[in-house]
Amino acid sequence: MAQAYIFPGQGAQFPGMAKGLYESSALAKEYFEEANQILGFRISDIMFGGTEEDLKQTNVTQPAVFLHSVLAFKTAQGPTPEMVAGHSLGEFSALVANQTLNFVDALMLVSIRAQAMQRACELAPSTMAAVLALADDKVEDICAAVYEETGEVVVPANYNCPGQLVISGTLKAVEIACERMKAAGAKRALILPVGGAFHSPLMLPAREELAAAIESTHFNVPDCPVYQNVVARAVTDPIEIKKNLIEQLTGAVRWTQLVEAMIADGATHFTEAGPGKVLQGLVLKINKEMVVGGVS
Domains plus CATH for the chain? Answer: 2-121+201-295 (3.40.366.10), 126-191 (3.30.70.250)
Q: Taking Cα atoms as reference points, which of 207, 274, 277, 213 lies closest to residue 246?
A: 207
- Measured CA to CA in angstroms, residue 245 lies from 22, 82, 231 at distances of 29, 20, 10
Q: Taking Cα atoms as reference points, which of 271, 224, 231 lies closest to residue 253?
A: 231
Over the stretch 210-229, which tens digit does the pLDDT of each residue have? 999 999 999 999 999 999 99
- How many residues are present in the chain? 296
* Catalytic option among 88, 126, 168, 296: 88
Q: What is the mean pLDDT of residues 177-190?
A: 96
Whether 68 is catalytic is no
Q: What is the mean pLDDT of residues 125-133?
A: 95
pLDDT-based confidence at residue 194 (cuts at 50, 70, 90)? confident
pLDDT at 1 > cutoff 80? no
* pLDDT at position 59: 86
pLDDT-based confidence at residue 77 (cuts at 50, 70, 90)? confident
* Catalytic option among 44, 126, 199, 200: 199
* pLDDT at position 163: 95
In 10 A of CB 109, how many CB atoms?
19
Over the stretch 253-295, which tens digit does the pLDDT of each residue have? 999 999 999 999 999 999 999 999 999 999 999 999 999 999 9
Contacts of 95 (CB under 8 A, 6+ apart): 84, 86, 101, 106, 219, 222, 226, 241, 245
pTM of the predicted model over 0.85:
yes
* pLDDT at position 185: 96
First to last CA, the chain: 23
Q: What string of H, E and C letters represents the secondary structure of the chain?
A: CEEEEEECCCCCCCCCCCHHHHHHCHHHHHHHHHHHHHHCCCHHHHHHHCCHHHHHCHHHHHHHHHHHHHHHHHHHCCCCCCEEEECCCHHHHHHHHCCCCCHHHHHHHHHHHHHHHHHHHCCCCEEEEEEECCCHHHHHHHHHHHHHHHCCCEEEEEEEECCEEEEEEEHHHHHHHHHHHHHCCCCEEEECCCCCCCCCHHHHHHHHHHHHHHHCCCCCCCCCCEECCCCCCEECCHHHHHHHHHHCCCCCECHHHHHHHHHHCCEEEEEEECCCCHHHHHHHHHCCCCEEEEEC
Whether 126 is catalytic is no
* pLDDT at position 131: 98
Task: Report the percentage of the chain scoring pLDDT > 70.
Answer: 100
